[in-house]
């Protein structure tokens, strides 16, 4: 943004006009219009032409300029069209036991000044978090200008409707293979409609102690659901689903938008996505230049004719075109597959994160301004975070995780025996990875903040005598599990485990977030027995103090975490052996 864009022509670097407010710990724009001039509305730069967007993009209308030294007001959140996702789509038929039928406030209240380190984190929280997963914003900087940069598209009713501070957060980052823009034709099919070429699901635990960045291979064979979609011309269309298609066709193919990729990720992992962000080739170049390069390490010389990467063994700082070449290379690293490319992309992101945490970046307003400006121009976001303050708040949540507790990993896959150019899920490992993410289990060692007595009390639920299966009495309800789950669980309990005093009670009065077992004071031995059979964690056991409960069967309500009878419901506490992963705080050299 130049000086003329603000109604000033003194040639002053705009980043130098940001002043730290010692009362709030935030940087604020302090500009006084020149004599005889009025402040022009910011964010008035011409629309960019580089890099096509994934779907019906729109620029934010330019808000009114706030008075000098004041923060702009935050516009209210707009609602979005609800999609077709929702109910379970069917009911379990009852069967009786034995198998028979049956505003920050931005006021001027004085607060305690923050330490220098804390101030830097407040200033950079949004940038750090979003650049880790593909976008950035730096607190309250240049609200009008940055808000005008944002391009947003509809979620089409997919996802959760927006993140919340009181639960885990899932952000899907999509890198498209769209070749539009100067110098990008040589990277492959310049006629591509923009498929989901690089996909990272960034999951932050509810307590913000750990995060997992899960890469999803573009060539993974999976089911793509039907997608209600708003097209570029504003019309609405239900795009039919595909059974056994490549994951990358969840975007671009058949006019699919990022909302369809959101739905596909949920179908695959069981994790509901809060937000998406989309980047094309030009985004990679502009963002890496804005941070003045990212350090990478090579264990050997690389000369990849397809990606145009030519680097010698050792460490290099790369940006722009060279950074894009690095992220696109695959034939010269690992096994030469897309999975090998995913590994060096993860190494690159870890290095980017470490640089953003460095004092050299954190303490430079000029660098942070350039970084935020490039990021807000480069990426397309969903319409639930189409405002700079919404992005800032989300960024602060993501940035709160210590890098040593952030793990990059990849969906465990196997070669597809029917098509060597694609891969399929490793059914022995992938469900464990998905379950760990759903249950907020860290892939690194994280010290939990629970009190010792609370941990002991929780663990005690599973300790003690267990009833014989024949003495276990339980009613099974479907409270959000797939249709038919109550009957499937009942058949398994009766036929495989000998729990004959069990009954299918069909749909629960209301859905539950997770499978739970409610039992009376004298049914603890039955509860422990059933928990062991079904692989339930202690948190799934809900004891009551009502004596009358002992007269009735226990109540087992199956939630969305129930996928298949006989599969453990609780997540493993340790990652499967030999899965690919990179820890964000450790430098790795590409081989």
CB within 8 Å of 250: residues ≥ 6 apart: 196, 224, 256, 260, 261, 263, 264
Nearest alpha-carbon partner for 141 in 276, 46, 7, 1 = 1
The answer to whether residue 527 sits within a structural domain is yes
Three-state SS letters, 424-444: EECCCCHHHHHHHHHCCCCCC
Q: What is the Cα–Cα distance from 294 to 315, expressed in whole angstroms? A: 10
User: If residue 397 lies in a helix (H) or strand (E), which one and from where to where?
Assistant: helix 388-399
Helix or strand run (H / E) with residue 477: strand 474-478
d(CA 307, CA 281): 12
- Distance between CA atoms of residues 243 and 21, nearest Å: 56
Asked whether 286 and 184 are in contact (CB, 8 A), the reply is no
Q: Is residue 65 part of a domain?
A: no
Q: Are residues 479 and 522 in the same domain?
A: yes
- Contact assessment for residue 96 and residue 366, using Cβ atoms and an 8 Å cutoff: no
- The verdict on residue 109 lying in a domain is no
- Find out whether 432 and 409 touch, Cβ atoms under 8 Å: no
Domain with 527 in it: what CATH number?
A: 3.30.70.2390
279: helix, coil or strand?
A: strand
User: Residue 588 domain-assigned?
Assistant: no
The DSSP code sequence of 358-378 is: SHHHHT-HHHHHHHHHHHHHH
Query: Is 7 a domain residue?
Result: no
Report the Cα 426 to chain-centroid distance in Å. Answer: 22
229, 349: one domain: yes
Is residue 459 within 8 A of residue 538, CB to CB? The reply is yes
Same domain, 295 and 176: yes
3-state secondary structure 194-218: CCEEEEEEEEECCCCCCEEEEECCC
| Residues 251 and 242 sit within 8 Å (Cβ to Cβ) | no
The total number of structural domains that make up the chain: 2
CA–CA separation, 249 and 242 (whole Å): 9
**Same structural domain, 439 and 457:** no
Do 430 and 536 have their domain in common?
no
My answer on whether 263 and 401 are in the same domain is yes
What are residue 542's DSSP bridge partners? 518
Residues 6 or more apart from 21 whose CB is under 8 A from it?
A: 27, 28
Residues 423, 465, single domain; the answer is no
On whether residue 267 sits in a domain, the answer given is: yes
Cα–Cα distance measured from residue 102 to residue 93, given in angstroms and rounded to the nearest whole number:
8
Decide if 536 is inside a domain: yes
Is residue 12 a contact partner of residue 1, using CB atoms and an 8 Å limit?
A: no
Dihedral sign, Cα of residue 463, residue 465, residue 468, residue 474:
negative
Please indicate, yes or no, whether residues 352 and 497 belong to a single structural domain of this protein.
no
Tell me: do 218 and 301 sit in the same domain. Answer: yes
- Tens of pLDDT along the chain (591 residues) come to 333 333 334 444 444 444 545 555 454 545 444 434 333 333 333 433 333 334 445 545 444 444 333 333 333 333 333 333 334 444 564 544 444 334 333 333 333 444 433 333 333 334 434 443 333 333 444 577 888 888 999 999 999 999 999 999 999 999 987 655 454 444 445 555 689 999 999 999 999 989 999 999 999 999 999 999 988 888 899 999 999 999 999 999 999 999 999 999 999 999 999 999 998 878 888 888 888 899 999 889 988 888 888 999 999 999 999 998 888 887 777 666 788 888 888 888 888 888 877 766 666 777 777 878 888 888 899 999 998 888 888 988 888 888 888 999 999 999 999 998 999 999 888 988 998 899 888 888 665 544 455 556 666 778 889 999 999 999 999 999 999 999 999 999 999 999 999 999 999 999 998 899 999 989 999 999 999 999 888 888 999 987 777 789 999 999 988 888 887 776 666 777 777 777 776 777 877
C-alpha R_g of the chain: 26
Compute the half-sphere exposure of residue 461: CA atoms within 13 Å on the CB side of its CA: 23
Contact 189, 179 (CB under 8 A): yes
* Sign of the dihedral through C-alpha 362, 367, 369, 370: negative
- The answer to whether residues 354 and 405 belong to one domain is yes
Cα separation, 445 vs 437, whole angstroms: 14
Alpha-carbon distance of 251 to 241, in angstroms, equals 12
Phi, psi of 294 (to 5 degrees): -125, 135
228-269, pLDDT tens digit by residue?
A: 998 888 889 999 999 999 999 999 999 999 999 999 999 999
Domain that holds residue 284: 114-443+577-583
Residues 196, 343, single domain; the answer is: yes
Q: Identify the CA nearest to 226 among candidates 260, 273, 275, 251.
A: 260
Say whether both 390 and 537 belong to one domain.
Answer: no
Q: Is residue 517 part of a domain?
A: yes
Residue 211: give its domain's CATH number: 3.40.630.190
Residue 255 near residue 237, CB atoms below 8 Å: yes
């Amino acid at each position: 943004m130049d000086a003329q864009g603000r109604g000033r022509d003194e040639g002053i670097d705009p980043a130098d006009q940001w002043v730290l407010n010692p009362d709030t710990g935030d940087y604020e724009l302090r500009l006084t219009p020149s004599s005889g001039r009025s402040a022009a509305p910011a964010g008035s730069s011409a629309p960019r032409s580089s890099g096509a967007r994934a779907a019906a993009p729109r620029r934010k209308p330019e808000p009114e300029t706030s008075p000098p030294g004041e923060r702009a007001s935050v516009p209210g959140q707009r609602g979005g069209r609800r999609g077709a996702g929702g109910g379970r789509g069917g009911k379990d038929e009852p069967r009786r036991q034995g198998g028979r039928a049956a505003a920050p406030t931005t006021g001027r209240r004085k607060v305690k000044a923050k330490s220098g380190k804390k101030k830097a984190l407040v200033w950079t929280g949004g940038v750090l978090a979003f650049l880790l997963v593909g976008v950035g914003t730096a607190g309250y900087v240049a609200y009008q200008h940055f808000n005008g940069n944002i391009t947003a598209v509809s979620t089409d009713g997919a996802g959760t409707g927006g993140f919340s501070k009181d639960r885990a957060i899932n952000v899907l980052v999509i890198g498209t293979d769209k070749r539009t823009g100067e110098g990008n034709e040589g990277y492959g099919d310049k006629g591509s409609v923009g498929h989901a070429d690089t996909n990272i699901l960034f999951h932050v635990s509810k307590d913000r102690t750990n995060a997992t960045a899960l890469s999803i291979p573009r060539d993974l064979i999976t089911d793509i659901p039907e997608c209600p979609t708003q097209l570029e011309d504003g019309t609405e269309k239900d795009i039919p689903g595909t059974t056994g298609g490549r994951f990358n066709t969840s975007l671009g193919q058949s006019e699919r938008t990022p909302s369809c990729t959101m739905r596909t990720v949920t179908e695959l992992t069981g994790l509901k996505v809060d937000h998406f962000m989309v980047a094309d080739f030009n985004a990679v170049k502009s963002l890496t230049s804005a941070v003045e390069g990212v350090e990478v390490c090579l264990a050997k010389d690389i000369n990849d004719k397809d990606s145009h990467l030519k680097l010698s063994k050792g460490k290099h700082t790369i940006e722009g075109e060279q950074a894009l070449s690095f992220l696109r290379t695959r034939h010269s690293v690992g096994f030469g597959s897309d999975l090998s490319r995913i590994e060096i992309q993860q190494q690159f992101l870890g290095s980017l994160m470490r640089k953003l945490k460095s004092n050299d970046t954190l303490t430079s307003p000029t660098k942070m301004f350039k970084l935020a400006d490039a990021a807000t121009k480069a990426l397309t976001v969903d319409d639930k975070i189409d405002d700079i303050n919404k992005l800032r708040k989300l960024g602060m949540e993501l940035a709160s995780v210590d890098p040593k507790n952030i793990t990059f990993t990849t969906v465990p896959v196997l070669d597809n025996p029917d098509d060597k150019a694609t891969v399929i899920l490793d059914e022995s490992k992938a469900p464990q990875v998905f379950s760990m993410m759903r249950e907020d289990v860290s892939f690194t060692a994280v010290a939990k903040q629970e009190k010792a007595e609370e941990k002991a009390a929780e663990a005690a639920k599973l300790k003690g005598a267990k009833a014989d299966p024949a003495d276990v009495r339980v009613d099974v309800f479907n409270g959000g599990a797939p249709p038919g789950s109550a009957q499937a669980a009942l058949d398994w309990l009766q036929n495989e485990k000998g729990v004959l005093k069990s009954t299918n009670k069909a749909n629960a009065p209301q859905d539950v977030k997770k499978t739970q077992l409610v039992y009376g004071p004298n049914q603890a031995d039955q509860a422990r027995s059933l928990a062991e059979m079904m692989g339930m964690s202690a948190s799934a056991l809900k004891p009551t103090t009502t004596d009358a409960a002992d007269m009735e069967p226990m109540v087992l309500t199956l939630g969305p975490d129930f996928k298949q009878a006989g599969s453990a419901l609780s997540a493993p506490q340790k990652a499967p052996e030999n899965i690919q992963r990179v820890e964000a705080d450790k430098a790795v050299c590409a081989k």
